Amino acid sequence: MTLSQDHLPIKAPLSGASYSAVELAPENDRVWMLEQRELPDHERYLEMTDVATIEAGIRDMVVRGAPAIGIAAAYGMVLAAGACRQGDQAYLRALQDAGALLKGARPTAVNLAWAIDEMLALAAKHASADPASRVEQMASRARDIHRADVEACRTMGKLGAERVPDGATILTHCNAGALATGGYGTALGVIRAAHEAGKKVKVLADETRPYLQGARLTSWELHRDGIPVEVITDNMAAHFFQRGEISLAVVGSDRIARNGDVANKIGTYGVACLARLHDRPFYVAAPWSTVDMKCASGEAIPIEQRASREVTVIAGKSFAPDGVNARYPGFDVTPARLVSAIFTERGAVDPVCEDSMQRLAR
C-alpha cells in the first residue's frame, strides 16, 4: 500500500521535521517509509506490515543511510514481535529469525546489526510476558533508538559546527542528512547547526553516482531548509579544491573501525585524498552506533557489492554494451590518517587514532 503526502500518516514525526525516513504507526502495527528512490519528484510513503517487506525496503534502498536503516530494522522487529503469539523459546526463535533476515539486507552499515541486537536483548528479557505487553515494550525501545539518534545528531552537529568557519563552502558526499538518520542528519547536522548558529555557509553536494544521493536527496533537504546548495558531479570536486573554493569536507559513515578508519559511500576516499592534497580539513560525523570497536581496522569492514545494472542502467536505459558488466562496491574505506576529526555524541575523536577511540568508548 502506498500513501501520498496528503495521506501523510505521521502528523508528528519523532524528529519534529515535516518529513521522516521511517516511522512506526501509533498502533505499533505498521511502519511508514518515505520512498527515497522517488525523491525529489514525489514525496510518497510506503506502508509496511511485515518483516519481509521491511527487509526488502532496506535492501532495495527505499530507506538508506546507516542510522535510518538501523531504525527501520528496529521497527521491523516490533512487527515481528506483533506477528508472534507464542511464548518463550518459540518467540525468541521467531525474533532471531527476523533479526537474521534483516541483518542480511545490507552488510556495511553496522548500525543495522547494532539496532537488531538491542531489540533481541530486550526480547530475551520479556519472552514469557503476554504478547500485547511484548509489542508495547519493543515499540518503546525502538522509538527510544529513533529519538536517541536524533538527539545524537543534534549534539554532534553542534560540536562539528564549531569547526565550520563563517562563510565556509562545504563539500559533502552522498546523503548523511535527515533522510539517512532518525532526523536532522550527521554531516548535514553539522551544516544545519552551523547555519542555525548564524554562519553563512554554502554547500557543494557531490552528485554521488550511481544512486545520486547527493543530487536527489542532499540538495532536496538543504534546499527545503533554505541552505544554499549546488550540485556537482563527482569528478568536479578536484577542480573546485584546486581553485580554493572548498573550505572543508564533511561526510557521514556506515562503519568506523577501532583505529578510526571510516567506511562511507563509494567515492568518499577520493574526497579525503583531495582534501589532504589541498590542505583542507576532512571531517566525519557519526553516532556512536556507527562505531564498531570489534573491528580492528578498515580492512575488516565488509564492503557491500551491488548489482552491475545499478551502474549501467540510468532511468531505464543501458549505457554499456550488452555483455559488459560494471563493478559496484557500495562503500570505500578512508584511512584514519586522512580524517581530521570524527564528531560523535560522545565528543570529538581528535586526533583520529585508536587511543582517542578507546577514550570515548569507555
DSSP state of 92: H
Helices (H) and strands (E) in the chain, counts: 11, 17
| Geometric angle at alpha carbon 94, from 92 and 100, rounded to 5° | 100
What are the CA-CA distances from residue 281 to residues 33, 231, 351 (Å)? 35, 20, 12
Smallest distance, Å, CB 347 to ligand MRU?
Answer: 18
DSSP string spanning 172-241?
E-S--BGGGSSSSBSHHHHHHHHHHTT---EEEEE--TTTTIIIIIIHHHHHHTT--EEEE-GGGHHHHH
> 243 is written with which cell numbers?
581553485
Catalytic (active site) residue 166: no
d(CA 357, CA 362) in angstroms, rounded, equals 9
Span of 63-71, 195-203, 308-316, 334-342 interacting with ligand MRU by CB under 6 A: 63-71
Q: Of 57 and 65, which has the nearer Cβ to ligand MRU?
A: 65
Pairwise CA distance, residues 190 & 256, whole Å: 18
Site mask for ligand MRU (CB under 6 A), range 319-348, x = bound: -----------x------------------
Is residue 180 at the binding interface for ligand MRU, with CB under 6 A as the rule?
yes
Kindly indicate which of the ranges 79-87, 141-149, 178-186, 232-240 contains the residues binding ligand MRU, using the contact rule CB under 6 A: 178-186
Site string for ligand MRU, 106-135 (x = CB under 6 A): ---x--------------------------
Q: Does 13 bind ligand MRU (CB under 6 A)?
A: no
23 binds ligand MRU (CB under 6 A): no
Question: Does 157 interact with ligand MRU (rule: CB under 6 A)?
Answer: no
CB 197, min distance to ligand MRU, A: 21
Give whichever of 122 and 251 is closer to ligand MRU, judged by the CB atom. 251
72 contacts ligand MRU (rule: CB under 6 A): no
Among 28, 155, 181, 344, binds ligand MRU (CB under 6 A): 181
Cβ at position 176, least distance to ligand MRU in Å: 4
**Contact call for residue 213 and ligand MRU (CB under 6 A):** yes
Sequence-distant (≥ 6) Cβ neighbours of residue 18 within 8 angstroms: none
Choose the catalytic residue: 149, 206, 254, 261. 254
Under rule CB under 6 A, which residues in 235-254 are in contact with ligand MRU?
Answer: 251-254
Options 186, 218, 289, 340; binder of ligand MRU; rule CB under 6 A: 186
3-state DSSP assignment of residue 8: coil
- Shortest Cβ 6–ligand MRU spacing (Å): 27
Question: Would you give the distance in Å from CA 206 to the centre of its chain?
Answer: 16
Residue 91 or 114: the one with the smaller Cβ distance to ligand MRU is 114
Considering the rule CB under 6 A, would residue 174 count as an interface residue with ligand MRU? yes
Contacts of 53 (CB under 8 A, 6+ apart): none
- Lookup result for grid cell 527505499: 62
264 neighbors 173 (Cβ within 8 angstroms): yes
Q: By Cβ distance, which residue is nearest to ligand MRU?
A: 252
- Work out whether the CA dihedral 218, 40, 267, 73 comes out positive or negative: positive
Residues 6 or more apart whose CB falls under 8 angstroms from that of 6 comprise none
Least Å distance, CB 289 to ligand MRU, is 11
Which residues are near ligand MRU by CB under 6 A? 64-67, 109, 174, 176, 180-181, 186, 213, 251-254, 264-265, 330
* Residues catalogued as catalytic: 254
